[in-house]
A and B are shown apart, each in its own frame.
Chain A
Amino acid sequence: MAYLSRAEARALAERVLGFSRAEQARVSIDSGATGNTRFASNQISTAGDVTDTTVTITSAFGRRVASSTTNLLDDASLRAAVQTSERLAPLSPEDPEYLGELGPVPVPERDSVFATTAELSPEARARAVAEVTTPAAARSLVATGFAVHRTGSSAVMTTRGQFAYQASSNANFSTTVRTPDGDGSGWAGAGFFDWNELDAGSLAARAMEKAERSRGARDVEPGRWVTILEPTAVANMLGLMMGALGARAADEGRSFFSRPGGGNRIGERFVDDRVTIWSDPLDPRLFTTPFTEEGLPNRREVWVENGVLRTLTYNRYWAQRQNREPTGFPTGYYMEGGDATLDDMIRSTERGLLVTRFWYIRSVDPRTILYTGLSRDGTFMIENGRVAHPVKNLRWNESPVFMLGNIEMIGRPVRVSPSESSEVASAVVVPPLKVRDFTFTSVSDAV
């Protein structure tokens, strides 16, 4: 097995903690195998199969804490890593926020390893790639893309008796198909746990159609547009808000979620009342991480309910200080949807834009979670209820909280490939949205 089983992880953790002389210690172990295949110009360009196991030891003397990581698993190297953290910790100033290691706390159990993903071969990846490159070549298009999968386990053990373990599989497939003259470009991608869920042929069909339909893009005026965001674009935006949910920054007055005059905005309605977003480690659509790096169980958490901010993210220290329960972090999340289809959204639009995905998203103003970025790989004008023609890509300066305040229609949630780099990522399940007043600030010539 390319990753440590529960028994192996426990044995390794015990071996590491056996070397510990600290007052308290914690060991975290990540092991697994990652495989990937890249393609460009309708052929495989590179591939990689990598196995690794990393061990991180955190040692504490009083409130003096330090960590050390190694991937060398012989006793001497592990002992050396333990000793490094034990040498550094007493030299460090006291950390008033260190709460000590956890004792035994039950962690939700679930199995999300899929043999179809765990045992995937380079040949199987190559077959999936051919489902894209063969039709693309036949249509005189140029396909580029990335298939990636990881199966691994992580474990945490403390000297005070906590042990948590999970193993999981995850995968992602994405392709960008371009016309040979570089005048059109279309993207499609998906994330999934079970490799059998991959339908590379239908992703290829979507990307090819977008590539061909995006030829001859016309100029478009920047400004505030009715915009239909496909689910990937919604996830690109929503992730920015989910990353800004820190309670501490809010309470310290340096966040959108700060309440003017002090405190935070928990309990306030801040977006459209159809918006509900939650995380749940046991929901098979998400399988979000069941425990934190400290070994604290994650539980179901509703972040936004009917437009109201229900909670922010609290680590153990800030939770204790503010007299709240600690929360996990929403790496994966589910946004509830509605019944509208993408076609309904298009049909109901007199004049608007349709966006496939966003790119190069960077923070502009944390006071409003304002970011900038651009559309790419399929941006279209909608006129009188139908897709009229492709338009040039646009730069936007916009905030997810404004976007969620301007919703007109919500579609059915689907799991997407949420990161710009199409890596293996925590599950993000979001609906397509039709919003008003999405702020585009300039036009790009990039295809």
Chain B
Amino acid sequence: MSRMRRREFIARTALAGGALSVLDLRELLGRLAHPDDFAFAAQERELAFRALDAARAAGATYADVRVSRNHSQSVSTREQQITGLSDNETMGMGIRVIASGSWGFVATNVLTAAEVEAAARQAVAQARANAVSQRQPVELAPAEVHRNGSWSSPIGVDPFSISIEDKVSLLFAVNDAALGVRGVRFVSSFLSFLREDKFFANTEGTVTNQTIYRTTPSVNVTAVAADGSDFQSRASTDISPRGLGWEYVLESDLPGRAPRWAEEAVQKLTARPVEPGRYDLVLLPTNLWLTLHESVAHPTELDRVFGYEANYAGTSFIHPPADFLGRFRYGPEIMNVQGERSSPGGLSTVGYDDEGVRPRDFLIVRDGVLADLQTTREQAPWLADWYRQTGQEVRSHGCSYAQSWADVQFQRMPNINLLPHPDRDVPLEELIDGVENGILIDGDGSFSIDQQRYNAQFSGQVFREIRNGRVGGMLKDVAYQMRTPEFWSSMDLIGGRSTYWTGGANNDGKGQPSQVNAVSHGCVPSRFRQVAVINTGRA
């Protein structure tokens, strides 16, 4: 918000004058550790508290308010041309309430006292309309109150402080490096950056301020056969988006890596089409992160398990949860899958989730067995029996997220990671050594999985045959098909901690209206026995 806007706002509130009916929370504002670190001045916070007041006065039994300001910038190029340069800003307030036992949510970009108070009352009225069909009132798990929470992504260099010239010249250098490889016809490259300033307050007294950064570099190289009979692309899937700054772009060394991506695109033109059949697969983390995302992270979302996403994103094969928690063997004992929002640079990493909960790391799969599911405050009580049985408190795992102020927060996956081999630092070579007839897959490609997360098909970027423990020539048109439980059970060896790598995506879709989530997945290279491989080429 500009200075002038703030001045105007102050003038308006001064005219309104008199004692404002506000929460005791306001006195806490003066105690913010570093208020200048965050975008929101007292005026915006004041509006948030007014909205909470208005919601309570209208009968809400709970309310929370998010004010967020997203600043994003993107630069895209092809060959030696710029194809897009844009700078976007969006700011507004989302007000969520519980009234008559039902949720209501209203969001507006008009940040005036009158507007946000009206929006809060509208949210309460909407909740009452929604309550007509209510069969069970919404209950929230208890949460600690954080009266002055603050958090910021651990960036080194603010990407918005780097000039556009530097960004464009970096991308042109990448394109040049790729076009220098014979056979390459097209290259596109892209950088995008996000800074989100997010203020949260609820009627229980939690107030948090966070600044979240995300940085996304990507490159795609296309080679075309001399006779025009084929074209093949190689995407830079070994560089994933991160919750970091400009330093991550530099560390990624895009110009240094571009010739390899280009050479691999060219090699794909003459690669041998794969013979369909069953193969042992060694999946590099650049490929496996997406398989983990689809077949472990999604089916362990508790709202799916309870059918809430049946109309779009789907349900889960994990149902009913009591039959699976502590009983279902997902994979071998070396399989441990962790949920967390704490890893530095993770896309889902935050100090507080979108309902003010401070997330703690937790294990979803422990020694190969399903141990827990992803929850929000509304959902944690659904697993109360399991938590009581296992001596755990009924507490949200901090998985609430909304893509912007204009969207209602709901359960989204945290960073979910396949942890390294628990006993020793297994090198990649050892995984390959044990393969007689297999395929090494690098990079993520085409991906698709059914609505209960059983049947999936994944491709990749680069495929190399493995014969008798040695990596050989390149293959093409490879995709593996799997059924989730059998696939993870066929995993017989995974890499150690020195092979750990983090992938991720900014565009994980779920919900109606669909919202995107940004999430990272750390994982290690892993070996899967006798997986069905198809040839996807077709005349």
Contact of B86 with A68 in the complex, beta carbons under 8 Å: yes
Contact of A52 with B130 in the complex, beta carbons under 8 Å: no
Contact of A182 with B315 in the complex, beta carbons under 8 Å: yes
B481 is an interface residue with CB less than 8 A from chain A: yes
Total interface residues on A, using CB and 8 Å? 103
In the complex, A258→B229 CA distance in Å?
10
Chain B residues whose C-beta falls within 8 Å of the C-beta of A49 in the assembled complex: 105-107, 122, 126
Chain A residues whose C-beta falls within 8 Å of the C-beta of B4 in the assembled complex: 74-76
B25 is an interface residue with CB less than 8 A from chain A: no
Chain B residues whose C-beta falls within 8 Å of the C-beta of A159 in the assembled complex: none
Chain A residue with Cβ nearest B106 = A49
In the complex, how many angstroms separate the beta carbon of B513 from the nearest chain A beta carbon? 6
Chain A residue with Cβ nearest B90 = A71
Chain B residues whose C-beta falls within 8 Å of the C-beta of A76 in the assembled complex: 2-5
In the complex, A354→B308 CA distance in Å?
26
Contact of B87 with A44 in the complex, beta carbons under 8 Å: no
Could you say which of A45, A50, A51, A144 contacts B103, with CB atoms under 8 Å apart?
A45
Contact of B224 with A92 in the complex, beta carbons under 8 Å: no
Contact of A40 with B168 in the complex, beta carbons under 8 Å: no
In the complex, how many angstroms separate the beta carbon of A38 from the nearest chain B beta carbon? 6
For this complex, into which size category does the number of interface residues on chain B fall?
35 or more
B139 is an interface residue with CB less than 8 A from chain A: no
Could you say which of A80, A123, A441 contacts B129, with CB atoms under 8 Å apart?
A123
A253 is an interface residue with CB less than 8 A from chain B: yes
Chain B residue with Cβ nearest A370 = B538
Which of A37, A123, A372 has the largest number of chain B CB atoms within 10 A? Answer: A372
A352 is an interface residue with CB less than 8 A from chain B: no
B392 is an interface residue with CB less than 8 A from chain A: no
In the complex, A89→B82 CA distance in Å?
11
Contact of A445 with B317 in the complex, beta carbons under 8 Å: yes
B453 is an interface residue with CB less than 8 A from chain A: yes
Chain A residues whose C-beta falls within 8 Å of the C-beta of B126 in the assembled complex: 47, 49, 122
In the complex, A76→B310 CA distance in Å?
45
A411 is an interface residue with CB less than 8 A from chain B: no
Could you say which of A43, A50, A97, A364 contacts B459, with CB atoms under 8 Å apart?
A364
Contact of A262 with B228 in the complex, beta carbons under 8 Å: yes
A112 is an interface residue with CB less than 8 A from chain B: no
A54 is an interface residue with CB less than 8 A from chain B: yes
Contact of B307 with A144 in the complex, beta carbons under 8 Å: yes
B404-412, B415-423, B463-471 - the one binding chain A: B404-412
Contact of B87 with A362 in the complex, beta carbons under 8 Å: no
Report A's interface with B, CB cutoff 8 A: 34, 36-54, 56, 65-77, 80-81, 84-85, 88-89, 91-93, 95-97, 121-123, 125-126, 129-130, 133, 142, 144-146, 148, 174-176, 178, 182, 185, 187, 252-254, 258, 260-262, 359-368, 370, 372-374, 376, 393, 395, 397, 399, 420-423, 441-447
18 contacts between A and B (CB under 8 A): A40-B311, A44-B102, A48-B408, A50-B106, A54-B90, A66-B86, A72-B5, A72-B109, A91-B163, A92-B85, A130-B133, A144-B311, A148-B512, A178-B307, A254-B186, A364-B446, A446-B453, A446-B454
Further 9 A-B residue pairs, CB within 8 A, beyond A36-B513, A175-B311, A423-B514: A44-B132, A48-B513, A49-B126, A77-B2, A92-B164, A122-B126, A368-B538, A422-B512, A446-B452
